[in-house]
Amino acid sequence: MPRHALRAGTVIVGDGSTLDDCTIGIEDGWIVEVTPGGPDGDYEEVLDLTDRVVMPGLIDAHVHLMYTGEPEDLDLTGLSDEYLTLRCAEMARRALAVGVTTVADVAAKGNTTFALRNAIRDGVTLGPRVYACGSMLAVTGGRATDGKQSGSIIEVDGPVEARKRTRELLLYHHADLIKLAATGALSSPHTGARDPQLTVEEMRAATEEAHKVGRPVHAHCYGEQGITNALDAGVDVIVHGQSLTDEHIERMLETGTALAPTLTVYRAAEHTEADDPIEQFRDERNRPSSSAGVLEETEPNFRRALDAGVTMVMGTDSGMPYTRYGDNTHDPVYMVDWGMSESEAIRAATLDAAASLNVADELGSIEEGKRADLLVLNENPLDGIETLLDPDALERIVLNGRFVEDLLWT
């Protein structure tokens, strides 16, 4: 792969800072220099982007590639793993097309997402970088274990089983992260969203195994006890998190535990074509009592965490009802809508999202020694985050140092 460079008018680094007029040198998919003016090195080509903005590719740290976002597609009945793997590939490609160069899948059937991850890595198919947990660990009969979605869950009971199944995911399949269901879920109507499910001991066993090999643990949780349990177990990311208490927030600040508030799935109804999307979205969930009020708590919960300074991570929950691939970039827009600065939202969608996957040494910012996953824009999203929604503003996507349109036909 040739050495080439981009001379950018503005670089959004990803860590909250920006640079004016500098050169990003790229070799073999890696950034080899970020130099004011520049370049320092010799390149076969230096592309003039001095009237453009370059930022890191977006990282969506919470997606479900098996599902399309069409509510009826939550039903996996009769779909083979081979079919689902192809569907995962198409969903991943749709995310890439809007500038998401990395996705983390957080509950899939069998080997589907492991196979896709490996195929993309090996150049067998084109897509964003995939980090895969494989299936999610949940209790027997817990979330997503009923008919329609069954297969994306490994049912475990007791710390010994949790440890064993975690080891299988990590050591046989090289899972990139571990996903735990600390509580029930809105999308599993037979569970109460705020009812605790996996125990502290079960989650701690899984977390210990993941941490031994440097893998992060993301815990789906709602409600006071479930969140407390996940924090007691030492997980790295609280997913959803309605509703954090002051004590939860204090503990998260102390330990650096991040929050993936998944705003897009809760606001998905706002950009569907359904007649009465909000009601339909809610009806899908047919909520028992401990699920009541979760949607209403989303905004105040996010604002409390934001005001306190909790680390936030982009995660759309794409694939869930009305949460479609290609709409991924709504997530940072919603964060700004509810009080974040543009710069903070971009950090949540780049460097902090990379950190939530334990890959901040490789991804998430434009710095020497990192992967060259970049977006070239003709408007600055720091001046108005809606730029990320505008397909005309996103001119080019660089994946592993190469323009995606070049990869399509080679």
Smallest distance from the beta carbon of 63 to Zn ion, in angstroms? 8
- Give yes or no for residue 33 binding Zn ion (CB under 5 A): no
Q: Residues in contact with Zn ion, total (CB under 5 A)?
A: 1
* C-beta closer to Zn ion: residue 136 or 399: 136
Stretch that binds Zn ion, among 89-97, 313-321, 332-340, 380-388 (CB under 5 A): 313-321
Residue placing its CB nearer to Zn ion in the complex, 56 or 261: 261
C-alpha–C-alpha distance, residues 9 and 23, integer Å: 9
Q: Is the peptide bond before 39 cis (omega within 30 degrees of 0)?
A: yes
Q: Whose CA is closest to 399, among 23, 100, 145, 75?
A: 100
Contact pick of 317, 331, 342, 373 for Zn ion (by CB under 5 A): 317
* CA gap 22, 205 in Å, rounded: 47
352 scored as a contact of Zn ion (CB under 5 A): no
User: Half-sphere exposure (CA, 13 Å, Cβ side) for 155?
Assistant: 11
Counting contacts by CB under 5 A, is residue 15 touching Zn ion? no
Could you tell me the smallest distance in angstroms from the CB atom of residue 204 to Zn ion?
22
CB of 91: closest distance to Zn ion in angstroms?
13
Part in contact with Zn ion (CB under 5 A); list of ranges 148-156, 314-322, 334-342, 356-364: 314-322
Q: What is the dihedral of CA 268, 274, 276, 280, to 10 degrees?
A: -70
Binding positions for Zn ion, 187-216, rule CB under 5 A? none
Local structure of 196: helix, strand or coil: strand
Minimum distance from CB of 265 to Zn ion (Å)? 7
We find the least distance from the C-beta atom of residue 349 to Zn ion, in angstroms, to be: 17
Q: Which is nearer to Zn ion, 61 or 354 (CB)?
A: 61
331 contacts Zn ion (rule: CB under 5 A): no
CA-CA distance, 64 to 221, in Å (whole number)? 16
> Taking CB under 5 A as the rule, does residue 327 contact Zn ion?
no
Task: Report the residue number whose CB is nearest to Zn ion.
Answer: 317
Report the nearest approach of Zn ion to the CB of residue 260 (Å): 9
Q: Per CB under 5 A, does 60 bind Zn ion?
A: no
Instruction: Cite the DSSP H helix spans in 98-216.
Output: 112-121, 159-167, 200-212
Residue 94 carries which side chain, given as an amino acid letter?
R
Cα–Cα distance measured from residue 173 to residue 12, given in angstroms and rounded to the nearest whole number: 35
From 121-129, 249-257, 288-296, 311-319, span contacting Zn ion (CB under 5 A): 311-319
The residue type at 281: F
Which lies closer to Zn ion via its Cβ, residue 236 or residue 317?
317
- Distance between CA atoms of 51 and 378, rounded to whole angstroms? 7
Residues 210, 217 contacting (CB under 8 angstroms): yes
Residue 55: strand, helix, or coil: strand
- Closest approach, Cβ 184 to Zn ion, in A, equals 13
Which residues lie near Zn ion (CB under 5 A)? 317
